[in-house]
Structure formats: structure tokens, C-alpha cells
């Protein structure tokens, strides 16, 4: 399979890129900033590329830059690249534990820009690269984006993830007839830069579960929503 992963240089994105390569897939690893040469942002990806020659392509991909995304997608199409799956992993965490009275709407705007509009831009321009085979789109969400688990004071992140869940549901309805599975996936509270060292979850375990979803080794039980955890279990809306 050819799989695009955004935010692939660290955390869950890196773990998932490594897992997919180990399973024999080819990965386009989207990295914000210059991806054409080794630097502090993408050095681990270059190490992976050496371990899996010919199957990992790094790409400069800022999910806030629609023109850049369109240009990249056009270049891949010109090269004859077809996609089988997309993992929208790039995200930011801003304004956490902030009461509404102190909320900075710049944090709200930035969170929506990256966490919601970013995946929408990626799908808009990369969906035409899907072939006739069954495909998969995974939007990395969070339990913070559910009404059931709303805990207050996390407005930018939680509201952007709630909106991402709705986008995933809309996209599922649109693409179901094409046999393109769409999931909003809660990866668990995992040890990453965003999750923190105190998190109990392992990003490698989460990556294995998400890879199983992409490969359809795990098929979630039919239900009204596409919001699930990395094991394929339904998450409460």
C-alpha cells in the first residue's frame, strides 16, 4: 500500500511510519518545513529511509498551506503515485487548561486551522490520488472531542477535535460507496511530545492498532458513528 502520513517526524506519526514500513508498505512522510535534506526535524525519518530503501519519501507538507498541498498532490499525480490510505496526524495543542474568561482566540483559530482545516485540505487535494482499490482515511482525533468526555477548560483542542469527528462522519457518508473506510481514531493517552512522559500509553502499540485498521485486519463493528479507538472499539460521542 502507498500511505500518506502527516506530522510523520515525531510521536505517533513517526511510530506509525515505522510500523507501516516494517509491514512492507510505502510511506510518504509529510513534515512541516524543509524535508529535502536531513535536519533536526526529520533526521529520524532519514534513518528510517536508510533502513527501508525506496519505500519512504519525505515531503515538505504544511497542512495550513493549501497551495503547497495542491502542488505536492499534483507532483505525485504526475509521477504516477496512487494512494491507498491517508493518516491525518498533524495537530497542535494550544490553550490547554484555560478558562473561557482568559481564552485567547488566536489559540482557537490556530487549532481549527491545523486540527480541522488541515485534514480537510489534505483530503481535498489527495483524495483524487486514490485508485479503484479499497482505501482508508484515518483522522487522528481524541476523546477530548466527545460530548461525553468533555472536561472543561480545553476549548481549542477539544472543539477542533469534535469538529474533526463531524468531518470524518460526513466524509464516511460521502465515500462509503467507493469502499473507502473513514475513521476518527482516538489513539489513547500516549507518551509523545503532546501527551507527555506521564502518559500511560505506548505510541508503538497505538501505531500497531491503527495499522491493523488501515490493513482491515481490524474491522470495527457496524455502528452509527466512525469515532473509534485504535483497537477499533466504538468511542462515545
What pLDDT score was predicted for residue 71? 98
The yes-or-no verdict on residue 234 having pLDDT over 70 is yes
| Mean pLDDT to the nearest integer, 155-183 | 97
Q: Over the stretch 175-198, which tens digit does the pLDDT of each residue have?
A: 999 999 999 999 986 656 665 666
| Mean pLDDT to the nearest integer, 118-132 | 96
The yes-or-no verdict on residue 30 having pLDDT over 80 is yes
Residue 186: C-alpha distances to residues 128, 165, 207, 232 (Å): 26, 10, 11, 10
Model confidence at 228, in pLDDT bands (50, 70, 90)? very high
Which pTM value belongs to this model?
0.94
What pLDDT score was predicted for residue 90? 97
Tell me what percent of the residues of the chain surpass a pLDDT of 70. 91
What pLDDT score was predicted for residue 38? 59
Amino acid at each position: 500500500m502507498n500511505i500518506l502520513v502527516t506530522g510523520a517526524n515525531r510521536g505517533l506519526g513517526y511510530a506509525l511510519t515505522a510500523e507501516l514500513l516494517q509491514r512492507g508498505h510505502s510511506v510518504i512522510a509529510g513534515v512541516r518545513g524543509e524535508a529535502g535534506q536531513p535536519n533536526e526535524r526529520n533526521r529520524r525519518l532519514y534513518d528510517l529511509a536508510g533502513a527501508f530503501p525506496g519505500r519512504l519519501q519525505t515531503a515538505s507538507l504544511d497542512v495550513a498551506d493549501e497551495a503547497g498541498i495542491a502542488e505536492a498532490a499534483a507532483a505525485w499525480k504526475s509521477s504516477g503515485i496512487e494512494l491507498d490510505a491517508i493518516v491525518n496526524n498533524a495537530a497542535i495543542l494550544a490553550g490547554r487548561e484555560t478558562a473561557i474568561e482568559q481564552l485567547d482566540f488566536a489559540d482557537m483559530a490556530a487549532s481549527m486551522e491545523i486540527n480541522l482545516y488541515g485534514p480537510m485540505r489534505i483530503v481535498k487535494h489527495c483524495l483524487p490520488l486514490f485508485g479503484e482499490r479499497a482505501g482508508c482515511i484515518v483522522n487522528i482525533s481524541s476523546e477530548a472531542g466527545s460530548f461525553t468526555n468533555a472536561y472543561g477548560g480545553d476549548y481549542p483542542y477539544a472543539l477542533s477535535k469534535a469538529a474533526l469527528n463531524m468531518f470524518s462522519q460526513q466524509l464516511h457518508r460521502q465515500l462509503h460507496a467507493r469502499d473507502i473506510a473513514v475513521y476518527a481514531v482516538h489513539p489513547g493517552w500516549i507518551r509523545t511530545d503532546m501527551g507527555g512522559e506521564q502518559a500511560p500509553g505506548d505510541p508503538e502499540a497505538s501505531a500497531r492498532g491503527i495499522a491493523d485498521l488501515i490493513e482491515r485486519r481490524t474491522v470495527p463493528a457496524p455502528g452509527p458513528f466512525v469515532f473509534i479507538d485504535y483497537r477499533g472499539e466504538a468511542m462515545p460521542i
